[in-house]
């Protein structure tokens, strides 16, 4: 473990945690993310050359924060850090237990979150290798996941929720094809697909595979149908004519 945590944090973040007001919202957020274990993990990833310069958060979710970083070649990297103290590890455990890839799921909070992070990394690997439009996974250790940064000059591309597509018909087809390829080629179901988890780059890219599961999951058909219902709901709200979810479901299942 590095002896000087203050120096390490200075390299990871421009502002030192100790200088933030103890009662400020920023301090609370930073303290929940950068505990000593996470700092050590980031230190290992820096030593492995995964990234070198660490910037601020570009996204904050229920369980994790996503930060922007640069590697030694000057390429942007997205760094997703699951919060150990505040993540709903019981809910994570429930979803992990239904995934047939995980016969024995740990019960301790920290171990559940580490397994959850590892699963997301493996999901991205399988999807990327199958040619599904997803961020390219780079590395993973404990509660930290590094992947391709989708954006320009450190600014992420917009979510479909915030910037509706200019060509809804084309984007819907692309997303349906991606969902089909994910199921048939990568043997996965996204399980949380919606306008919140699509980036327009301008072509659509699926993100947030934390809930992605093997298609042999006993709940697989229900999760796939939910993904399709979310897509259809969103695009119909834009005025697009789309097939019914049941019809799309049948097309994906045929092989």
User: pLDDT (tens digit, 9 = 90+) per residue, 116-157?
Assistant: 999 999 999 999 999 999 999 999 999 999 999 999 989 999
Rounded to 5 degrees, φ, ψ at 67 are: -115, 160
Positions of CATH 1.10.510.10 in the chain: 168-253
C-beta of residue 31 within 8 angstroms of C-beta of residue 25: no
**Residue closest to 105 by CA, chosen among 213, 247, 236:** 213
Question: For position 167, what pLDDT does the model report?
Answer: 95
Positions of CATH 3.30.200.20 in the chain: 5-156
Distance CA 208, CA 195 (A): 12
Which residue in the list 99, 208, 214, 227 is annotated as catalytic?
Answer: 208
Low-confidence residues in the chain, pLDDT < 50: 1-5, 13-23, 26
Tell me, yes or no, if 88 is annotated catalytic. Answer: no
Question: For position 15, what pLDDT does the model report?
Answer: 38
**216 Cβ contact list (under 8 Å, min separation 6):** 100, 187
Please tell me the CATH code under which domain 5-156 is placed. 3.30.200.20
Q: What is the pTM of this model?
A: 0.88
Query: Does CATH number 1.10.510.10 belong to domain 168-253?
Result: yes
CA distances from 61 to 72, 83, 153 (A): 28, 10, 22
Question: For position 22, what pLDDT does the model report?
Answer: 46
**Residue closest to 146 by CA, chosen among 172, 132, 126, 125:** 125
Question: For position 57, what pLDDT does the model report?
Answer: 84
Tell me, yes or no, if 244 is annotated catalytic. Answer: no
Which residue in the list 99, 192, 214, 227 is annotated as catalytic?
Answer: 192
| DSSP-based three-state secondary structure for 235 | helix
CA distances from 194 to 54, 67, 155, 223 (A): 29, 22, 21, 12
**Residue closest to 228 by CA, chosen among 247, 206, 204:** 247
Q: Tell me the chain's radius of gyration from C-alpha atoms.
A: 19
């Amino acid at each position: 473990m590095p002896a000087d945590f203050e120096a390490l944090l200075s390299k990871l973040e421009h502002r030192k945690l100790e200088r933030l007001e103890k009662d400020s919202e920023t301090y609370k957020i930073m303290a929940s993310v950068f505990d000593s274990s996470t700092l050590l993990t980031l230190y290992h990833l820096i030593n492995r050359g995964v990234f070198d310069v660490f910037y601020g958060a570009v996204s904050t979710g229920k369980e994790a924060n996503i930060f922007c970083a640069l590697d030694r070649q000057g390429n942007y990297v997205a760094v997703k850090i699951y919060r150990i103290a505040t993540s709903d590890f019981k809910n994570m455990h429930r979803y992990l237990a239904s995934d047939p890839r995980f016969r024995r799921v740990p019960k301790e909070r920290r171990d559940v979150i580490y397994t959850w992070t590892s699963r997301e990394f493996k999901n991205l690997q399988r999807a990327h290798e199958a040619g599904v439009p997803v961020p390219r996974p780079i590395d993973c250790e404990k509660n930290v996941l590094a992947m391709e940064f989708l954006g320009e000059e450190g600014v992420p591309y917009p979510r479909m929720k915030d910037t509706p597509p200019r060509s809804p018909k084309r984007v819907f087809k692309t997303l349906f094809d991606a969902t089909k390829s994910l199921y048939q080629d990568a043997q996965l179901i996204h399980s949380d697909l919606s306008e919140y988890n699509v980036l327009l780059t301008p072509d659509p890219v699926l993100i947030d595979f934390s809930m992605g599961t093997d298609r042999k999951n006993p709940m697989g058909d229900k999760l796939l149908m939910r993904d399709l219902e979310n897509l259809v709901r969103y695009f119909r709200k834009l005025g697009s004519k789309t097939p019914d979810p049941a019809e799309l479901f049948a097309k994906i299942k045929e092989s």
